[in-house]
């Protein structure tokens, strides 16, 4: 992983970062295996002299590639390009294959952090994290978070540490941090 340090504020430290749960790759993996098996079987089953032979083989190859592209490769790329980053000052969600989308929420604006774990999530250890904001935004809802209960607890710890940092005066935005030489 490794969220780029240049995108962090001066003095900001990454506490934890993760991707969506691996179960998001389960169905695309099955689609990939089934398509490769099925397309290979069909390709060799089609007789070159019957059914328009060579043309049908190209149709099978094209259809197989299209299925692999849309239902295996695109979900994998979505999974790889989605990241959840929790710093000592904010929560960052970034996603997107070609165009990037991002959402940040300062820890100072967080009112409530709750989670929900579906039945399968109890077995595979994932769930959804709902973060309510004190601002006018709707809050932040993150799905397929691995170890969601642990992350919820750690977010509360980050909120308390951020509150203590701001109360001690170390978080004063009018004081510029020293520039590196």
Question: By three-state DSSP, how is residue 134 classified?
Answer: coil
First to last CA, the chain: 28
- Domain range annotation of the chain: 25-79
- pTM here is 0.84
Q: Which value, in Å, is the radius of gyration of the alpha carbons in the chain?
A: 23
Q: Count of alpha carbons within 13 Å of 87, Cβ hemisphere only? A: 22
Sign of the C-alpha dihedral computed for residues 53, 58, 64 and 67 taken in this order: negative
**Burial class of residue 174, CB neighbours in 10 A (0-12, 13-18, 19+):** exposed
* Residues contacting residue 124 through CB under 8 Å, at least 6 positions apart: 21, 23
Query: pLDDT tens track of the chain, all 181 residues?
Result: 578 888 899 999 999 999 999 999 999 999 999 999 999 999 988 877 666 778 889 999 999 999 999 999 999 999 999 999 999 999 999 999 999 999 999 999 999 999 999 999 999 999 999 999 887 667 899 999 999 999 999 999 999 999 999 898 765 554 444 445 4
């Amino acid at each position: 992983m490794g969220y780029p340090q240049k995108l962090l504020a001066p003095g900001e430290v990454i506490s934890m970062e993760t991707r969506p749960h691996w179960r998001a790759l389960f169905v695309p993996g099955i689609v990939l295996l089934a398509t490769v098996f099925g397309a290979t079987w069909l390709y060799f089953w089609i007789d070159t002299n019957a059914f328009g032979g060579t043309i049908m083989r190209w149709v099978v190859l094209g259809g197989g590639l299209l299925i692999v592209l849309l239902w295996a490769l695109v979900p994998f790329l979505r999974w790889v390009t989605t990241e959840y980053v929790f710093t000592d000052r904010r929560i960052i969600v970034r996603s997107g294959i070609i165009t990037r989308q991002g959402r940040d929420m300062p820890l100072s604006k967080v009112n409530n952090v709750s989670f929900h774990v579906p039945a399968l999530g109890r077995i595979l250890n994932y769930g959804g994290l709902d973060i309510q904001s004190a601002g006018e935004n709707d809050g932040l809802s993150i799905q397929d978070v691995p170890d969601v209960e642990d992350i919820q607890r750690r977010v509360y710890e980050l909120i308390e540490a951020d509150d203590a940092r701001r109360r001690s005066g170390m978080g004063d935005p009018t004081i510029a941090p020293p520039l590196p030489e």
